[in-house]
Amino acid sequence: MGKFKKHLFVKKNKLIQLMESIPAKEYDSILLFLESKAVNENPKASLLFSELIRIIKVSKKSGEVKISKEELFNLIYGNKQYNDDVLRKLMSFVIQKIELYLIFKESQKDKSFSKLSLLKYYRSSKLTKHFDGHFRYLENRKKTATYDADFFHTELGRFTEYNNFIGEYKGRQFPRKYQEASDALDQYFILEKLKMCVSILTHKRISKKEYNLVFLEEILDHLEKESSYLKVDSIKLFYMAIKIQLRRNDVWAFEDLIVQLSKQNNITIEDLRDIYFIAFNYCVQKVNEGHSRYLEKLYILYKQSLENNILLLNEKISPWNYKNIVSVGLRLKDYEWIYKFIQQYKKKLDGSDAQNAYNYNLARYYFYIKEYKKLLQLLQVVEYSDVFYKLDSKTLLLKAYYEMNEFDALHSLMDSFKQLLRRKKIISDNHKTNYLNLVRFLKRLSQINPRDKKRLATLKKQIDESSQIADKNWLLEKMEEKNNIYKISAQ
């Protein structure tokens, strides 16, 4: 037996990686699945899986795997001569069986797929009564179904199976459901095309890639002429989202969208999430264009989406949505609600930067309510692992020191901030320029005498003309405050 290969075997093995991606609580179910002769006649497969469960558990406790491929082979095959090809084939076999389990598990979630598959089986097996019963079952589900793309796809399959069944067993005199099948196909295609175009138009805003939106114009024209399709909530919402993105009567389309979102729509949570993000982005664009009233609309949408759990994915909220909500609420001075939100959703933050996100947003809250000492206490003891949280926290510290007239601490932090910006290669040139300009202009502002109107005017002109400054609006606000100091004292 050769030397044991610690780590290498586990870290790069596909079977181990697959097992580690599955929640440990499901291991018993998979083991029962593997022990069933209906899906597996090789007892070595379930034995290998059991041993790997033990290995994974031990490795999580100790942080180290103390077993080689040779040892694992002996556990499965006794004292037989080690054969790498045999072990690899067994592992590949177990992967296939786990994949079969995962497919079976997912199929249980998709009732429409299961029933449609059963309908197809009854048709091919000439079980007329069974076919009729399941066809009626799928017909009745329309009363409670969510009219998404999957629903229309299932309807298309149901009517297709019906038409095939009639053609094979009933004869020409029996009526077909060709129109129903055609309608379901149209609804499925239109909805899926609108959803795809929404995604493309969203991506075009951040990408230089060119897309050919085939049939989009024809679909939009058809929907305007044939309004019956717009009775389907999902089609109507994505239709309005497209109009918003293309800026076609976008203001009216947006207001209509807001009304629709406030209702109980017959639409999946996934589709609703996509629509809300279109609405969020539209409000942000409008605010950036100078239409400040859309900030309040954005805030209402954020609160509405929270109430409906739209922003939660697996009961978790992303740090970016968390930050965006805090930003809007602070700008609108809704401090009490924002503080409650920061605390309430702390445990729901997703990802490894959850604590960073909480600390940073709480610090921003303290800055807005002018509790600068609490801000300093929080940020001075926190070391951010993420460089962008680190940059934003240092920006907050700069602003807090300036507001407190702590100019020695301010200038010391400026020097360390510049060193950080020059040292971190991960920071883009654009971001470096934004932060360095903030440091440069803030330093000059802190050193200008309020009586020196000429230097203040020159600095204001330079800030106005610069398009790359982090927190430019705050800097201009401080500029105006300093410019008014002497005016006030002279009155």
pLDDT per residue as tens digits for the range 90-136: 999 999 999 999 988 888 777 677 778 889 999 999 999 999 998 98
- Quickly count: other Cβ atoms within 10 Å of residue 323's Cβ: 16
pLDDT at site 402 = 95
User: 353-403, pLDDT tens digit by residue?
Assistant: 888 899 999 999 999 999 999 999 998 767 777 788 889 899 999 999 999
pLDDT at site 13 = 79
pTM of the model: 0.78
Domain count, the chain: 2
The answer to the question of residue 47 being in a domain is yes
**Measured at the alpha carbon of residue 367, what is the angle toward residues 304 and 385, in degrees to the nearest 5?**
85
pLDDT at site 264 = 66
Mean pLDDT, to the nearest integer, of 405-417?
Answer: 94
pLDDT above 80: residue 294: yes
The answer to the question of residue 411 being in a domain is yes
Confidence grade of residue 63 (pLDDT, cut at 50, 70, 90) = low
The answer to the question of residue 26 being in a domain is yes
The residue out of 88, 109, 130 marking a domain boundary is: 109
pLDDT at site 185 = 97
Average pLDDT, the chain: 89
Between residues 189 and 484, which one has the greater pLDDT?
A: 189
The mean-pLDDT minimum among 173-187, 281-295, 308-322, 379-393 falls in: 379-393
pLDDT at site 486 = 58
Largest CA distance in the chain: 101
The answer to the question of residue 349 being in a domain is no
Considering Cα of 340, then 346, then 348, then 354, what sign does the dihedral take? positive
- Which of 399, 469, 485, 481 shows the shortest CA–CA distance to 434? 469
* Owning domain of residue 78: 8-109
The residue out of 76, 109, 142 marking a domain boundary is: 109
Q: Are 238 and 275 in contact (CB under 8 A)?
A: yes
The answer to the question of residue 198 being in a domain is no
- Quickly count: other Cβ atoms within 10 Å of residue 253's Cβ: 20
Give the rounded percent of residues in the chain with a pLDDT score beyond 70: 94
H/E element, 478: helix 472-490
pLDDT at site 3 = 43
User: 18-48, pLDDT tens digit by residue?
Assistant: 998 899 899 999 999 999 999 999 999 999 9
Which residues have C-beta within 8 Å of that of residue 7, sequence separation ≥ 6? 64, 65
pLDDT at site 6 = 41
The residue out of 90, 109, 128 marking a domain boundary is: 109
The answer to the question of residue 140 being in a domain is no
